[in-house]
């Protein structure tokens, strides 16, 4: 089984489908082809036997074997399909494309992305539609460590400007939480140091609260697992919070939470104005649905979370 060229969120929403594959094919070796940077997450997915970052990463013995099955759990584009087709698997499962049978790709805003991949396996006859529907919300990963008084993690970054809530608004939330006695840290990638530094400065946090560029993925997983709350846009860290059961507030812009949000539950709050959504995922400026959310909306949502932050 192959899955490649994916981000952190892509992998985490595919976990239910990986578990379904394991249930449907208990005697098969499941090989995940995904970026090496995601290894700390892959190691938590019990359904995966082997993880390689490239097909050449296989041992010669593995490369010499013809796979029984190749599954595309990432997209329907020609690049991923071509890589899978090159394996020469006895059977290929994916969305419809030249040379591939399968269901047509559909961007139904009412269907969660995690359901897309489970439904794909049902369409291929590996599981029943009822089993696919029932398994789609099984996003949990082991590793949650409840820590009373854990840090509030504020993550202002996102891959595209359309999903990036203004730094000043994150800072208002961080300052308010600090004023209530909660330890606050601000996270981000190495290329987001200026952004995290801006939030820390605006919020009046201690310099050591700035973790921008200072945590690798394994460290970020540990941080979120032990956190009391995560505040972030629609990006990978919000999916980590869902996987570990860490309470979270996720701010949605161009993509509706019905597509990429967590399953309904008391541990997670999603915010965004569906009526204002423009829907351009790759825009450089925040989507109007995101800008419709103010810091007061985030702070008002906190008491509804387990162990909510009192005003």
CATH code at 233?
A: 3.40.50.2000
Q: Higher pLDDT residue, 79 or 61? A: 79
pLDDT at residue 33, as a whole number: 85
Determine the Cα–Cα distance for residues 157 and 212; give it in Å rounded to an integer: 10
**Are residues 103 and 217 part of one domain?**
no
What pLDDT shows up at residue 76? Answer: 81
- In-domain check, residue 20: yes
Cα 35 to the center of its chain, rounded Å:
15
What's the domain count of the chain? 2
Length, in residues, of the chain: 311
Instruction: Look at residue 167 in the predicted model and tell me its pLDDT.
Output: 98
Instruction: Decide if pLDDT at 144 tops 80.
Output: no
Same domain, 167 and 195: yes
Q: Which range, 67-71, 144-148, 163-167, is most confident?
A: 163-167
The residue that leads in pLDDT, 88 or 178, is 178
pLDDT-based confidence at 304, cuts 50/70/90? confident
Q: What is the DSSP string of 131-148?
A: HHHHHTT----S-----T
147-205 pLDDT, tens digit per residue, is 557 899 999 999 999 999 999 999 999 999 999 999 999 999 999 999 999 999 999 99
Question: Is there a domain that residue 48 lies in?
Answer: yes
Asked if 65 and 28 count as a contact pair (C-beta separation under 8 A), the reply is no
Q: Which among 244, 261, 243 has a CA at the least distance from the CA of 252?
A: 261
**Span 69-98, mean pLDDT?**
86
Q: Answer yes or no: is 115 within a domain.
A: yes
In terms of domains, do 162 and 278 share one? yes
Give the pLDDT of residue 182: 93
Show the tokens assigned to 234: 């629609």
- On whether both 202 and 268 belong to a single domain, the answer is yes
pLDDT at residue number 52:
85
Give tens-digit pLDDT for 14-52.
999 999 999 999 999 999 988 899 999 999 999 999 998
Please report whether residue 3 resides in a domain. Answer: no
Candidates 44, 229, 69; CA nearest to 141 is 44
Do residues 163 and 234 share a domain? yes
Domain containing 94: what range? Answer: 8-135
Which domain-ending residue is among 85, 106, 135?
135
| Helix (H) or strand (E) segment spanning residue 153 | strand 152-155
What average pLDDT does this structure show over 261-272? Answer: 92
Mark whether 131 and 157 lie in a shared domain.
no
| Average pLDDT of every residue of the chain | 90
Confidence at residue 205, expressed as pLDDT on a 0 to 100 scale = 98
- Does residue 145 lie within any of the structural domains? no
pLDDT, position 55: 58
Give the Cα-Cα-Cα angle 225, 118, 48 (nearest 5 degrees): 55
The domain boundary, picked from 135, 166, 189, lies at: 135
Tell me what pLDDT residue 57 has. Answer: 46
Q: What pLDDT is recorded for position 111?
A: 95
What is the structure's pLDDT at 87? 80
pLDDT at 309: 64
State the Cα–Cα distance between residues 133 and 114, nearest whole angstrom: 10
């Amino acid at each position: 089984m192959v899955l490649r060229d994916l981000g952190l969120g892509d992998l985490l929403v595919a976990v239910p489908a990986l578990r379904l594959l394991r249930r449907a094919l208990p005697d098969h070796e499941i090989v995940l082809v995904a970026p090496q940077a995601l290894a700390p997450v892959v190691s938590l997915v019990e359904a995966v036997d082997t993880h390689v970052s490239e097909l050449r990463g296989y041992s010669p013995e593995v490369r010499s074997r013809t796979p029984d099955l190749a599954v595309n759990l990432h997209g329907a584009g020609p690049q991923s399909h071509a890589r899978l087709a090159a394996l020469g698997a006895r059977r290929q499962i994916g969305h419809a494309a030249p040379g591939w049978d399968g269901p047509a790709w559909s961007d139904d805003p009412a269907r969660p992305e995690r359901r897309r991949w489970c439904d794909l396996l049902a369409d291929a006859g590996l599981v029943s539609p009822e089993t696919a529907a029932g398994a789609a919300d099984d996003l949990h990963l082991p590793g949650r460590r409840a820590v009373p008084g854990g840090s509030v993690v504020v993550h202002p970054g996102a891959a595209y400007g359309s999903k990036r809530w203004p730094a000043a608004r994150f800072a208002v939330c961080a300052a308010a939480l600090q004023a209530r006695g909660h330890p606050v840290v601000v996270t981000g990638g190495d290329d987001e140091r200026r952004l995290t530094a801006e939030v820390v400065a605006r919020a009046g946090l201690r310099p050591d609260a700035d973790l921008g560029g200072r945590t690798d993925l394994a460290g970020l997983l540990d941080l979120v697992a032990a956190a009391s709350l995560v505040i972030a846009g629609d990006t990978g860290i919000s999916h980590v919070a869902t996987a570990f059961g860490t309470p979270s507030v996720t701010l949605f812009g161009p993509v509706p939470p019905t597509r990429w949000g967590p399953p309904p539950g008391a541990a997670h709050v999603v915010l965004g104005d569906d009526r204002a959504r423009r829907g351009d995922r790759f825009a450089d400026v925040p989507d109007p649905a995101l800008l419709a959310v103010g810091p007061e909306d985030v702070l008002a949502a906190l008491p509804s979370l387990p162990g909510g932050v009192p005003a």
